[in-house]
Amino acid sequence: MIGLLEVLDRDEHVRHYLPIASWPVRAGRAIDNDLVIDDPHIAPHHFQVDADESGVFVLVGDTVNGLRVGGKRFDAGQRIAVGDTPLRLAVGESHLCLRLASHPVQAELPLHTPHSLWHAAWPTLAAFVLVLAALLFSTWLDTDPDEWTRALGSTLVAALTAGLAWCAGWSLLSKIFTRRSHFWWHVRVLLLGVLAIDVAGAATRLIAFSLSLPVVSDFSFVLSYAIAAAMLYFHVLGVEPRHPARMRAVAVGIFLAGTALSLWFNLQNRDQLGEELYMNHLFPPALRLARPVDSDRFVRGLAPLQSRLDEKAKKRDAGGDGPGGDED
């Protein structure tokens, strides 16, 4: 055997392969090929692999779709030289790999098998406990003592239901496209993402309070959107592992679009790009690092607001001068 022509699944596993004992080797949809590929976007005789004095090459056959190698399209009649490494071919909606006997075999990858069930479960359990603690604490802060038990029960039920439905939906997509559910992968992605968003929100509020920089918490939603986009990327990676670069581009695009829309809505609703009209979170005074401002200096700092308030008052008065606006 001088080579293998492998047909790959979406998760890069080999679906089936053709041992090559001599050249040429033909591939396509017709049954007289050496490798028959059931793909409606593949021509009856789509390509062949052959060799001459210059080496092994792939010759594109009579096809309108051509084939792609490394993102570059090759049309009918063109040749692609096979180098010193396996050649990946995108043919129609199928993906193939041509491996020659002279190609080096990649090193064996270590198998990340946990030593016990505890070693496999403890990261997920730790993330779950931290997320649960953050949920309990936020519910305790936002609820009256008399209503805390009822609010806690409804919050836990809603959070667990939403989390399980979210992970189950992603697991179903993974099962459809990769034949593996990756359920615990999606659970870990969700828990770590929610925990990261909580930590980022608390950190930005603390920095804003300690250093008297309200702009940090005013734009904390940008950091939350970045974490959410990273969550989406890792979820999609369990569904489409073949194109990580493309998935990263999609996640970045969603992040930029979400951030731009939030900035635009804030500008329309609040006449400012930030999310908060004022810093409404207070921490223990011992955590305050910024120097205090005396009352006289604070009042002088409010002087520039006078012109803005007068301008808004004039606009409001001008809006009431229309028909029916003056009842004198």
Domain with 57 in it: what CATH number? 2.60.200.20
Residue 112 inside a domain? The answer is: no
Rounded Cα distance between 272 and 286, Å, is 31
Q: State whether 134 and 212 are in the same domain.
A: yes
pLDDT of residue 300: 79
Paired tokens of 225: 């959107």
Q: State whether 247 and 171 are in the same domain.
A: yes
Q: For 92, which DSSP code?
A: T
Rounded Cα distance between 311 and 264, Å, is 22
Q: State whether 258 and 205 are in the same domain.
A: yes
Number of domains in the chain: 2
How would you classify residue 162: left for phi > 0, otherwise alpha for psi between -120 and 50, otherwise beta? alpha
pLDDT of residue 319: 65
Low-confidence ranges of the chain (pLDDT < 70): 11, 113-117, 319-328
Q: State whether 139 and 231 are in the same domain.
A: yes
Nearest alpha carbon to residue 63 among 81, 77, 49, 80 = 77
Of 47, 68, 100, which residue is a domain's last? Answer: 100
pLDDT tens for each residue of 162-196: 999 999 999 999 888 887 888 989 999 999 999 99
Of 74, 100, 126, which residue is a domain's last? Answer: 100
Residue 231 inside a domain? The answer is: yes
Residue 251 inside a domain? The answer is: yes
Rounded Cα distance between 198 and 196, Å, is 5
pLDDT of residue 12: 77
pLDDT of residue 114: 65
- Could you tell me the residue range of the domain that residue 57 belongs to? 3-100
CB 207 within 8 A of CB 214: no
Rounded Cα distance between 33 and 25, Å, is 8
Q: State whether 127 and 237 are in the same domain.
A: yes
pLDDT of residue 152: 84
Of 223, 248, 270, which residue is a domain's last? Answer: 270
Amino acid type, 30:
A
Q: State whether 132 and 34 are in the same domain.
A: no
Paired tokens of 80: 């692609």
